[in-house]
Amino acid sequence: MSVRREERPDILSGTQISVNFRGLKALQGVDIQVPEGAIVGLVGPNGAGKSTLLGVLSGDVRAQQGVVRLGGKDVSGLAPEARVRRGLARTFQLPQLFDELTVREHLTLPRRLAQVPSRAWSDPLTGRFLHRDVPEEQEVDALLASLGLEQVADTPAGALPLGLTRLVEIARAVATHPTVILLDEPFSGLNPAESRLLSRTLASLNQAEDIALVLVEHDVEVVFDLSERVFVLDFGELIAAGTPAERPAVRAGGQQRHLGSQRAVREVRGRHGPARGLLRGPAAVRDRAAWS
């Protein structure tokens, strides 16, 4: 019997997350929930705190306050590597690859590391994207093909254009056999053909493999198309959350850049506490301009 979508437990959640960078409140009491197998969007203007929130969830950024749960367990004190072993993978806004290693070598690394015995790695994952019982080479070939990376399999990452490095990061994330992947602006820098391939790959990872995705993306239409739930951050605060279709405030919050009007801001703010000034000095003006 299939479980109704709204009854699925959260595979990942952050509760009351606050982060200060030397007095700058990058996140203030933010809550986010990612149901098992869901695609969740995270939008907001430049500097809203999206990457910081992904960092807290992955363990790369230390929060002053809040709890991160992965598969129902509190992982707030765990290092990023330990979270990866429990099924959490991520990509970075600026891809972080080893310049000298080839694309193929990047994809074999997670499996080599998995030779270290641990409960998380010995659990069988039958019927998933990558099968434990297939030879390493076959597994890596399938991954390369799924992201259109066959031609550059033996190219060192340092010699690749930005768009391809994003795809390699995603392939590497998948190679860790995750239950959830955090993607920080994965479409940025891709050409249209690469974007189409990535859209199809993300949909297939989600639908066929049941991998949950958290998608940070500036193109809100892409986010609304793919996501079943969208969270809107602004100045480190969660100002709206819900489905794009059912919650006009979410759509308005995500579309400030398109509407270009304060009406959308008022609609979101009106439902989520007292209205604050749209602009807060030169930095805010610059950030808003960059988002539109």
Ligand X SMILES: Nc1ncnc2c1ncn2[C@@H]1O[C@H](COP(=O)(O)OP(=O)(O)OP(=O)(O)O)[C@@H](O)[C@H]1O
Edge-to-edge strand ranges of the sheet holding 65-70: 24-35, 10-21, 65-70, 73-74
In the bound state with ligand X, the residue whose beta carbon lies nearer, of 47 and 87, is: 47
Question: Which listed option, Mg ion, ligand X, none, makes contact with residue 47 (CB within 5 to 8 Å by class)?
Answer: ligand X
The interface region with ligand X, picked from 48-56, 133-141, 173-181, 267-275 by CB under 6 A, is 48-56
- Note whether 199 binds ligand X by CB under 6 A: no
Query: Does residue 166 sit in helix, strand or coil?
Result: helix
Question: How crowded is residue 191: how many other Cβ atoms within 10 Å of its Cβ?
Answer: 11
In the bound state with Mg ion, the residue whose beta carbon lies nearer, of 63 and 175, is: 63
- Note whether 56 binds ligand X by CB under 6 A: no
In the bound state with Mg ion, the residue whose beta carbon lies nearer, of 51 and 176, is: 51
φ, ψ dihedrals at 61, nearest 5°: -120, 135
- Note whether 98 binds ligand X by CB under 6 A: no
Nearest in space to 207 (alpha carbons), one of 54, 12, 5: 5
Applying CB under 6 A, which of residues 40, 48, 88, 264 lies at the interface with ligand X?
A: 48
In the bound state with ligand X, the residue whose beta carbon lies nearer, of 52 and 102, is: 52
Question: How crowded is residue 223: how many other Cβ atoms within 10 Å of its Cβ?
Answer: 21
Residue nearest Mg ion by beta-carbon distance = 51
Tokens representing residue 4 in the block: 């109704």
Q: In 88-196, at which residue ranges do the beta strands (DSSP E only) sit? A: 88-90, 180-184
Question: Which listed option, Mg ion, ligand X, none, makes contact with residue 49 (CB within 5 to 8 Å by class)?
Answer: ligand X
Nearest in space to 91 (alpha carbons), one of 181, 226, 179: 181
Applying CB under 6 A, which of residues 21, 112, 261, 292 lies at the interface with ligand X?
A: 21
- Note whether 52 binds Mg ion by CB under 5 A: no
In the bound state with ligand X, the residue whose beta carbon lies nearer, of 47 and 110, is: 47
Question: CA distances (Å), 84 to each of 51, 58, 175, 223, in order?
Answer: 18, 8, 11, 24
Applying CB under 5 A, which of residues 51, 165, 206, 256 lies at the interface with Mg ion?
A: 51
Residue 78 burial (C-beta neighbours within 10 Å; 0-12, 13-18, 19+): middle
Instruction: Give the shortest CB-111-to-ligand X separation in angstroms.
Output: 31
Instruction: Give the shortest CB-224-to-ligand X separation in angstroms.
Output: 17
Query: Does residue 26 sit in helix, strand or coil?
Result: strand
The residue ranges that bind ligand X (CB under 6 A) are: 21, 24, 26, 44, 46-52, 93
